[in-house]
Amino acid sequence: MKNNKSWFFILISLSLLAGCATTAIPKNLLDPTLSEFHNIYDYGDAQYVDGELVLQATKNWFFMTQKTYADFILTAEVLLPDVTEYSNSGIMFRSQIRNSEKGPMAIGYQVDIDPSDRKWTGGLFDQSRRLWLHPIHPTRSHPDEHFLLNYTPTWTTTMANAYKHLEWNHIRIECRGNEIKIYVNEVLTTHVLDNTDAEGYIGFQHHGSKTLRETGHSNNVVRFRNINVIEF
């Protein structure tokens, strides 16, 4: 009888704990004043337009969050422009901000958004450090002892074709401990273990426009929307 009573109280306690647990609710990082973000550079322009984050820059630039994130799921949609000049974007995560001779700069993990014929959208780039971690570039890949394992070593045709140019593309980044997963339109493109950074900022990239730099005008605009993060 004593054992039955013990089990009864254990079950009641577990029920109470379950009732207190709350389901993680995604946080929308966009608002009209872009209060979740700040510009660490002395160039680049970010605007909130009809629920979208609209980016322009004369050179490579990242629009960074105010706070850092450790373990999380980040989802966002991105639309790249229809232009003839070079266009590229990305999303930094667990990024670090360092001072350089030219001022503050963001370094670290980046999901590449690559509309070129190379088709490496969803690959993992390490900005200003080890460069390409996945896929492997013939001359610009420098993984070190912190890069532990790549569960997706082959860049497949399915991965390459996940991105749809001139359409809204859904990006999902999952970080749990040293495990990193990247999805493009629900296709798993990157799954690695890496110990370099456990926490950092999130940043949205415009790779720069030569036309904007030379003329002051350009339709090379990168758009993000539905930016949500769930922290664990």
For position 5, what pLDDT does the model report? 47
CA-to-CA distance for 179 and 191, rounded, in angstroms?
A: 7
- Condensed to tens digits (0 to 9), the pLDDT of residues 40-90 reads 999 999 999 999 999 999 999 999 999 999 999 999 999 999 999 999 999
The answer for residues whose C-beta is within 8 angstroms of residue 225's C-beta and 6 or more apart is 30, 51, 52, 53, 76, 77, 79, 168
For position 122, what pLDDT does the model report? 98
pTM: 0.89
Paired residues of 131 in beta bridges: 126, 141
**What does 84-150 look like in DSSP terms, one character per residue?**
SS---EEEEEEEEEEEETTEEEEEEEEEEE--STT--TT-EEEETTTEEEESPPSSSB---TTEEEE
- Pick the more confident residue, 111 or 3: 111
Residue 10 to residues 2, 16, 19, 182, Cα–Cα distance (Å)? 13, 10, 14, 40
| pLDDT above 90: percentage of residues in the chain | 89
| Region 202-208 average pLDDT | 98
Average pLDDT of the chain, as a whole number: 92
- Condensed to tens digits (0 to 9), the pLDDT of residues 116-152 reads 999 999 999 999 999 999 999 999 999 999 999 999 9
| Region 151-164 average pLDDT | 98
- Pick the more confident residue, 98 or 18: 98
Q: Which of 224, 227, 230 is nearest to 206 (CA)?
A: 224
CA-to-CA distance for 186 and 172, rounded, in angstroms?
A: 8
Query: Domains in the chain and their CATH numbers?
Result: 24-231 (2.60.120.560)
- Condensed to tens digits (0 to 9), the pLDDT of residues 84-99 reads 999 999 999 999 999 9
For position 23, what pLDDT does the model report? 64
Sign of the torsion formed by the C-alpha atoms of 43, 137, 101 and 213 = negative
Where does the pLDDT of residue 24 fall: very low under 50, low under 70, confident under 90, or very high at 90 and above?
confident
For position 73, what pLDDT does the model report? 98
Q: How many residues does the chain have?
A: 232
pLDDT above 70 for 16: no
Sign of the torsion formed by the C-alpha atoms of 203, 140, 176 and 164 = positive
